[in-house]
Amino acid sequence: MTRCIHCTRCVRFGEEIAGIQELGTTGRTEDMRIGTYVERSVDHELSGNIIDLCPVGALNNKPYRYSARAWEMLQRPTIAPHDCVGSNLFAHTLRGRLKRVVPRQNEAINETWISDRDRFSCHGIYSEERLERPLVKIQGRWRATDWEVALDAAAAGMKRALGAHGQLGALAAPGSTVEEFYLLNRIVRGLGSNNIDHRLRQADFRDQQQDPVFPWLGTSIAGLASLDALLVVGSNLRKEAPMLAHRIRQAAMHDGRVMFINPGEHDYFFPIAAYRTVDTQAMIPELAGVLAAAGRLSGRRVPEALGGLTRDGNRRNAQPAAAGVAQVIASHLLDGANALVLLGQMAQRHPQFADLRAVAAALAEMCRLPLGYVADGGNTIGGYLAGALPHRDAGGLAIDAPGLTAAEMLAQPLQAMLLFGLEPEADCRSGQAALAALEAAGFVIVIHPYVTPAMRRYADVILPIGTFAETSGTHVNCEGLWQSFDAVASPVGTSRPGWKVLRVLGNSLGVEGFEYLSSEEVRDELRQAIGRIEPDNRFAGKRRIERHPAGMPDGSDLDIPMYSVDAVVRRSLPLQMTREAREAFVEGDVLTAAGA
């Protein structure tokens, strides 16, 4: 800190933007020093922004420091792929190698800030586990080969597996690009299957036919800051989407009433009007209690299909603590001129998500409010629009004979499996069961930037692709905004962009219409096919919902560690050295538990 001029921008950022004072000053005049509190460190998920605020370079990006000079590097725009916000970034590269990431100003999305996950994840790109050449398993032994041999082996193995009337299943990571989702959809449908999904961590698919065309936020990202009432159901917002939590803090600091119903206690650095912590099994009757309270306050009738649940909710409201919170939440939602009910990622992973959503939708309708979703991964909405679903084609068109969901595909071995961009042991709800199903499958193609010991056990062909930095494509963020980007770094080894690998694989499998020359052609074809779709989360389900069965899981697996969300983040050493990651490791990170 010898360069420090004591401007205190870093201190003010913690106080005014992040909401937590992790830095302060000691001493006076020339003895003044800026530092952390005793036995404390800077751990906030937006902490890296003080690097950009420091006017003299006293605060540095430690993993990047002294590895390149600023004037030697090229600056290219890109999009953050790790959550549904799609923060705008600048990537700085030196001779084709990505060295660091900094924020790119976009007032409508991330303003001038980015999360530490978006800033430091790039260091996972060059992991020792990067796959540089295609691998083919020949008589039980892995052999590195060229692309032509590998693609021929993949196509031949797939045709053999499907030749005996075997079923094909395809799973894609929720951070895949729109172009990759669309091409994977076309391959699977072209081979006569509807078994395709990207909802890897979802458990309950009973009412998937009632899904919106795409599950959007319910308002613009910037619009979160102007809400005067917000109920968040099942979300660890600061970890799921840090920039959304930042916007919600802005609302709370301007007298917005922010309320939570959660299966766990989470820290938030802003005023909270109501916070109810309940176990997983109690989330639905707790929310039903709010619905019952809203019905009494508004004089409106609760939907008949939810009658059984509201009786449970009224019984919970007989408890003074529950009744008081339900009354407060309902009154704020009814009084709010600009309010929202928001389903977080933990809610969407709930083992009874269909029922939880039905109650949340009824509450939103009763209070005349929109219903919103915090989508999982970097491009879940893109997956919906591109038709990477067993029951919907591109643009939300219903499929007459829906295929298997992700959970169903991993519960029973299929004859052929195509995995794109995911590590089932870490990215799926039940990692061990997924591994067992894949090891029992007839033929497995893995398309992934990395190779792991688990992949070598269950795969037959492994094809290397680029990470988000080495491919062009498009992500659709939580407010439905399409954001396209170009590759910013050179490929590692002989890896290729994912969309190109799928295009050639489609040709090798004999699927018609795979003559694309650029990712832009794929994107434009999809946009023309789906036309203009207005976001609409209104729920049309009318299924009767009664009391829930006992013995529901405790929900400890609903919250995914912040720095374990995808393959690149899991391999970023700076992120894995944080207190957040170390605590997740001690508690049993899913990847470590799987032995991968």
Report CA-CA distances (Å) from 502 to 249, 497, 569. Answer: 41, 9, 24
| pLDDT score of 109 | 98
Q: Residue 324: is its pLDDT beyond 60?
A: yes
For the ranges 12-16, 372-376, 545-549, 585-589, the lowest mean pLDDT is seen at 545-549
Contact 170, 414 (CB under 8 A): no
Tokens of 52: 């950009």
Q: How far is CA 103 from the centre of its chain?
A: 20
What percentage of residues in the chain have a pLDDT greater than 70?
92
Among residues 368, 433, 385, the alpha carbon closest in space to that of 407 is found at 433
| pLDDT score of 2 | 78
Across residues 12-23, what is the average pLDDT? 90
Distance in angstroms (rounded) separating the CA atoms of residues 262 and 426: 24
Across residues 398-422, what is the average pLDDT? 94
Q: What type of residue sits at position 309? A: L
| pLDDT score of 413 | 86
Report CA-CA distances (Å) from 57 to 73, 303, 399. Answer: 18, 60, 56
The burial class, CB within 10 Å (0-12 / 13-18 / 19+), for 523 is: buried
Q: Residue 552: is its pLDDT beyond 70?
A: no
Among residues 443, 450, 484, 485, the alpha carbon closest in space to that of 465 is found at 450
Q: At what angle do helices 178-190 and 498-508 cross, to 10 degrees?
A: 10
The model's pLDDT over 493-507, given as tens digits with 9 standing for 90+, comes to: 999 999 999 999 999
Q: Residue 362: is its pLDDT beyond 90?
A: yes
| pLDDT score of 593 | 41
Question: Quick one: pLDDT band at residue 582, thresholds 50, 70, 90?
Answer: confident
Q: Which residue has the tokens 């919103």?
A: 372
Q: Residue 293: is its pLDDT beyond 70?
A: yes
Contact 166, 150 (CB under 8 A): no
From edge to edge, which strands make up the β-sheet containing 97-103?
A: 74-79, 88-94, 97-103
Q: Which residue has the tokens 């219409």?
A: 513
**Which residues lie below 8 Å from residue 515, measured CB to CB, with a gap of 6+?**
none
User: Is residue 377 left, alpha or beta, with left meaning phi > 0 and alpha meaning psi from -120 to 50?
Assistant: left
Across residues 78-91, what is the average pLDDT? 98
Question: Quick one: pLDDT band at residue 36, thresholds 50, 70, 90?
Answer: confident
Kindly report the length of the chain.
Answer: 596
Question: Quick one: pLDDT band at residue 315, thresholds 50, 70, 90?
Answer: low
Across residues 203-231, what is the average pLDDT? 95
Across residues 242-253, what is the average pLDDT? 97
| pLDDT score of 323 | 72
Question: Quick one: pLDDT band at residue 318, thresholds 50, 70, 90?
Answer: low
Q: At what angle do helices 353-366 and 283-298 cross, to 10 degrees?
A: 20
Distance in angstroms (rounded) separating the CA atoms of residues 143 and 174: 30
Contact 373, 343 (CB under 8 A): yes
Q: Residue 337: is its pLDDT beyond 60?
A: yes
| pLDDT score of 62 | 92
Q: What DSSP line would sit under 42-84, residue for residue?
A: ---TTTTHHHHH-SSS-S--TTTTTS--GGGSEEEEEE--SST
| pLDDT score of 314 | 56
Tokens of 232: 């968040």
* pLDDT: which is higher, 536 or 590: 536
Among residues 198, 202, 256, the alpha carbon closest in space to that of 226 is found at 256
Distance in angstroms (rounded) separating the CA atoms of residues 243 and 225: 11
Q: What type of residue sits at position 28? A: R
Tokens of 158: 């797939």
Across residues 28-56, what is the average pLDDT? 87
Across residues 322-341, what is the average pLDDT? 92
The model's pLDDT over 258-287, given as tens digits with 9 standing for 90+, comes to: 999 999 889 899 999 999 999 998 899 899
Distance in angstroms (rounded) separating the CA atoms of residues 331 and 324: 11
Distance in angstroms (rounded) separating the CA atoms of residues 45 and 542: 40
Q: Which residue has the tokens 């795409």?
A: 214
Distance in angstroms (rounded) separating the CA atoms of residues 277 and 266: 9
Rg (CA), the chain: 24
Quick check: pTM over 0.85?
A: yes
Q: Residue 187: is its pLDDT beyond 70?
A: yes
| pLDDT score of 115 | 97
For the ranges 145-154, 189-198, 427-436, 479-488, the lowest mean pLDDT is seen at 427-436
| pLDDT score of 147 | 97
| pLDDT score of 589 | 47
| pLDDT score of 221 | 98
| pLDDT score of 399 | 94
**Terminal Cα-to-Cα distance of the chain (whole angstroms):** 40
